[in-house]
Amino acid sequence: MPQMAPLNWLTLMFYFIIIFMIFNVMNYYSYSYQNLSSSLKTKKNISLNWKW
C-alpha cells in the first residue's frame, strides 16, 4: 500500500540511525588507551640551558 510507505522509510531511518550510534559507541569504548604515567617515568629529563 503506497500510503504506508512513509512509515516504512521512517522505520528504516530510525533503525539505521540506532545501528550507527551503537557502532560508534562500541568503537569509542573499545579503544584502550595506554597508561600515561608509565610512559612519563621512562622519559629522560632534558635540561635546556638558555644562554641569552
Query: Which is more confident, 30 or 34?
Result: 30
Q: What is the pLDDT of residue 52?
A: 67
In this predicted structure, the answer to whether residue 25 has a pLDDT above a threshold of 70 is yes
In this predicted structure, the answer to whether residue 23 has a pLDDT above a threshold of 60 is yes
Measured between alpha carbons, how far is 22 from 27 in angstroms, rounded to an integer? 9
Average pLDDT over every residue of 16-36: 88
Alpha carbons within 13 angstroms on the beta-carbon side of residue 8 total 5
Measured between alpha carbons, how far is 11 from 19 in angstroms, rounded to an integer? 12
